[in-house]
């Protein structure tokens, strides 16, 4: 959530940056400022009336001592009227504060200066490309056919049990999943990320804190009777560990990692680009989350991007890094890097990770602050990244490493799988 003080003092900058993000409801900014003006005016009136009331209350004591009963009665009458004004102004102030809040939560985060202008994925900047595109043998298969050939992922069985987008992993397919999860967690641990195992159900306050609510209700599975939501990513519960907290400056950066299943209702179109593992309603992911000093957040984002790339290098997957344009960014992000791996059998790039800096957008919602030894609390910056999401990693590993002998497992992963080939 944007800070009202910044909007008030930097209106033109806010409008320009919202336009860069292709936000269409720019009139909201004026509506917010008008309501904020009324709120501050009402607050000033209330403060004035409270001051008068307090002054009169103190004077009654002196008048009692001097026995001036008539003056006491007049002051009591005035005080009674002031109490009515205090009640009315208090109600008006609460209503205006709620109206300002309701408008503020509709504004997305402001994009960083380095975010390119654009409205579609085709306008994202390619920051770098790494690795050679593999040359596959004749008759190479896409991963959904490989999964059936080696009996490692059953999409039809998942469809029978639950529905489309809920595959069943079997045999070496299940072991590959477990191996990747442990591989990603171990690498995060080695880099100083503390592992946590959070709930996969969240309440509304948690969804609001990281920006999923009220923006993405339709994309999350909702347990209506208990008013809980299945998480779309571990970012949500892990970041919310620090909701309503004031952390010590010397404890920054705070680094957490977590493995969770993730759930997304989003309906996809039909075709090869969403077949198999390309788009699922339930999938596994290892997430990294950092809470950092504002002066360190963009340096931290670069470090997170480099770390995620190191995982792809260890898995011997060709990849590229994109800096997302304004129109392709999430509601909450100030700057996002997407990492995509090349799927040789499908002949296209598949997104496997996003690393984002949210600056104070989430921490303002979360009331997540830090305090130095003598300073007053200030908002921290939050960041997160997928390190990594499994489905498209598995798809690319299967497709890019198919040989006549079977599917070759990358050397770094063999200690985790216990086998060198899926055959």
Contact indicator for 332, 138 with CB cutoff of 8 Å: no
| DSSP H or E stretch at residue 283 | strand 282-292
Indicate the pairing of strand 348-357 with strand 369-371. unpaired
| Stated length of the chain | 423
Contact indicator for 393, 352 with CB cutoff of 8 Å: yes
Identify any residues that bridge with 350 across adjacent strands, giving them in sequence order. Answer: 341
289 known ligand binder? no
287 known ligand binder? yes
225 known ligand binder? no
Indicate the pairing of strand 194-195 with strand 254-263. parallel
Q: Would you state the structure tokens that stand for residue 405, as one six-digit string?
A: 């002998």
386 known ligand binder? no
354 known ligand binder? yes
Contact indicator for 279, 270 with CB cutoff of 8 Å: no
396 known ligand binder? no
257 known ligand binder? no
Identify any residues that bridge with 378 across adjacent strands, giving them in sequence order. Answer: 370
245 known ligand binder? no
DSSP class of residue 118 equals -
360 known ligand binder? no
**Residue 371 φ/ψ, nearest 5 degrees:** -130, 130
| DSSP H or E stretch at residue 406 | none
User: Exposure of 38 by Cβ count < 10 A (0-12 exposed, 13-18 middle, 19+ buried)?
Assistant: middle
d(CA 132, CA 36): 55
- Left if phi > 0, otherwise alpha if psi is -120 to 50, otherwise beta: which for 57? alpha
CA-based R_g, the chain, Å:
27
Q: Would you state the structure tokens that stand for residue 283, as one six-digit string?
A: 């999938």
| DSSP H or E stretch at residue 385 | strand 381-389
Q: Which residue has the tokens 């003598």?
A: 374
53 known ligand binder? no
d(CA 191, CA 140): 37
Q: Which residue has the tokens 């991963």?
A: 143
Per the annotation, binding residues for ATP are 264-266, 351-354
Per the annotation, binding residues are 233, 264-266, 287, 351-354, 384
Per the annotation, binding residues for L-serine are 233, 264, 287, 384
């Amino acid at each position: 959530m944007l800070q009202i003080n910044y909007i008030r003092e930097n209106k033109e900058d806010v409008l320009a940056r919202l336009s860069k993000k292709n936000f269409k409801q720019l009139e909201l900014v004026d509506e917010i400022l008008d309501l904020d003006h009324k709120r501050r005016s009402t607050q000033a009136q209330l403060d004035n009336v409270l001051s008068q009331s307090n002054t009169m209350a103190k004077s009654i004591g002196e008048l009692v001592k001097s026995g001036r009963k008539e003056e006491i009665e007049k002051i009591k009458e005035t005080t009674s009227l002031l109490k009515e004004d205090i009640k009315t102004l208090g109600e008006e102030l609460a209503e205006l504060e709620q109206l300002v809040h309701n408008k503020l939560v509709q504004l997305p985060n402001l994009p960083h200066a380095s975010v390119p202008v654009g409205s579609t994925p085709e306008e994202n900047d390619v920051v770098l490309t790494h690795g050679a595109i593999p040359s596959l043998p004749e008759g190479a298969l896409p991963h959904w056919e490989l999964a059936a050939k080696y009996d490692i992922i059953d999409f039809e069985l998942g469809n029978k049990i639950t529905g489309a987008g809920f595959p069943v992993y079997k045999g070496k397919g299940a072991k590959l999943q477990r191996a990747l999860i442990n591989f990603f967690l171990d690498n995060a641990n080695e880099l100083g990320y503390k592992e946590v195992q959070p709930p996969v159900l969240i309440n509304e306050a948690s969804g609001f804190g990281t920006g999923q609510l009220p923006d993405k209700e339709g994309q999350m599975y909702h347990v209506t009777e208990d008013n809980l939501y299945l998480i779309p990513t571990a970012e949500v519960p892990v970041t919310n560990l620090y909701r309503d907290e004031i952390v010590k400056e010397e404890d920054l950066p705070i680094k957490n990692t977590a493995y969770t299943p993730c759930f997304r209702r989003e309906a996809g179109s039909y075709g090869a680009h969403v077949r198999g593992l390309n788009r699922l309603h339930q999938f596994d992911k290892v997430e990294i989350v950092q809470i950092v000093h504002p002066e360190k957040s963009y340096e931290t984002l670069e470090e997170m991007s480099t770390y995620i790339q190191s995982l792809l290098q260890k898995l011997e997957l060709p990849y590229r890094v994109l800096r997302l344009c304004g129109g392709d960014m999430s509601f909450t992000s100030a700057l996002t890097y997407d990492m995509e791996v090349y799927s040789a059998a499908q002949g296209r790039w598949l997104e496997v990770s996003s690393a984002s800096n949210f600056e104070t957008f989430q921490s303002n919602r979360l009331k997540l602050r830090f305090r130095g030894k003598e300073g007053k609390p200030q908002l921290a910056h939050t960041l997160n990244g997928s390190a990594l999401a499994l489905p498209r990693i598995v798809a690319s590993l299967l497709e890019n490493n198919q040989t006549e002998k079977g599917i070759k497992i990358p050397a770094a992963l063999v200690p985790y799988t216990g086998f060198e080939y899926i055959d």
